[in-house]
């Protein structure tokens, strides 16, 4: 029987824990602050930013959202980032991606102070993660590990397959699973015999961005399957990388789309911002 891992419920539990820690910091005169910059009118980005702002209020953070017009110059954007880097009351800073085409995305990311890089995108944090030092971990992989543990399945000693090799999900996900003592394989568009690789996996993390790409006959019984995909099918319905219908009847754990990884990603952003405030406190 297919068992679903409820990301909404777990996110609520984690946010309650975060809120309790925030109250302790506030008693010391410290309020964690998150600043989000949005350039342009991308509809998906607007939704993400609104959800982040809502989450900040929910856990008791100070929140600042800068909604800049599409024609904002790179110079003006970098000047705002520099200002927020220096702001004592801001502990986390992110620029919602994608940015308009006339702005160099990498220049924007690299302009953020690594101590405020709560997205965990900067090389300083990625490198620290790789060698096991203290780092801000990218939010989606961090949430995925929590979801796997929620299933009750022990990660150590298991064979894990990550499908996707992006810097935001695939690569850091593999590192985190290694840190949990799993044996990890990364698959991607050039992988031969993907089905054979997946059928050996006790843990599958699908992060390729192709609607319903992985079907039930590619997953072995008893596996924990984390679906990071957020896609629209031919009818405009939000679906994951895993074909949910073909998974019915299998004895597996699965994160639903929506309601699985998504709520945990924003919650881990809150957790990283809290950690930043606590680091600054010492």
Catalytic residues: 52, 96, 119
Residue 24, both tokens? 């302790």
How many other C-beta atoms lie within 10 A of the C-beta of residue 89? Answer: 13
Q: By the 8 A CB rule, do 8 and 263 touch? A: yes
Q: By the 8 A CB rule, do 197 and 185 touch? A: yes
Instruction: Look at strands 238-239 and 231-232 and give their pairing.
Output: antiparallel
Angle between helices 7-27 and 43-59 (to 10 degrees): 50
Distance CA 64, CA 94 (A): 11
Distance CA 83, CA 110 (A): 15
Q: By the 8 A CB rule, do 243 and 233 touch? A: no
Instruction: For the chain, report the end-to-end CA distance as a whole number of angstroms.
Output: 47
Distance CA 52, CA 33 (A): 12
The H or E element containing residue 23 is helix 7-27
Residue 202, both tokens? 């006790």
* Residue 195: C-alpha distances to residues 157, 192, 222 (Å): 21, 9, 16
């Amino acid at each position: 029987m297919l068992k679903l891992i409820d990301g909404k419920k777990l996110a609520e539990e984690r946010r309650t824990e975060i809120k309790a820690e925030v109250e302790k910091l506030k008693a010391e005169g410290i309020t964690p602050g998150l600043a989000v910059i949005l350039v342009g009118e991308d509809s998906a980005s607007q939704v993400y930013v609104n959800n982040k702002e809502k989450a900040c209020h929910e856990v008791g953070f100070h929140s600042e959202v800068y909604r800049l017009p599409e024609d904002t110059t790179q110079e003006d954007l970098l000047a705002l980032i520099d200002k927020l880097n220096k702001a004592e009351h801001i502990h986390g800073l992110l620029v919602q991606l994608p940015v308009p085409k006339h702005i160099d995305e990498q220049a924007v990311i690299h302009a953020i102070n690594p101590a405020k890089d709560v997205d965990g995108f900067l090389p300083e944090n990625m490198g620290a993660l790789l060698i096991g030092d203290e780092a801000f971990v990218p939010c989606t992989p961090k949430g995925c590990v929590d979801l796997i543990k929620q299933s009750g399945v022990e990660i150590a000693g298991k064979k894990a397959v990550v499908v996707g090799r992006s810097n935001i999900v695939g690569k850091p996900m593999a590192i985190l699973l290694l840190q949990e003592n799993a044996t990890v394989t990364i698959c991607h568009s050039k992988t031969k015999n993907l089905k054979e690789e997946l059928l050996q996996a006790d843990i599958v993390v699908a992060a390729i961005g192709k609607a319903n790409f992985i079907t039930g006959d590619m997953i072995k019984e008893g596996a924990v399957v984390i679906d990071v995909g957020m896609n629209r099918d031919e009818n405009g319905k939000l679906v994951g990388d895993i074909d949910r219908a073909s998974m019915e009847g299998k004895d597996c754990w699965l994160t639903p789309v929506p309601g699985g990884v998504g709520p945990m990603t924003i919650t881990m952003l809150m957790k990283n911002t809290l950690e930043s405030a606590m680091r600054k406190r010492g």
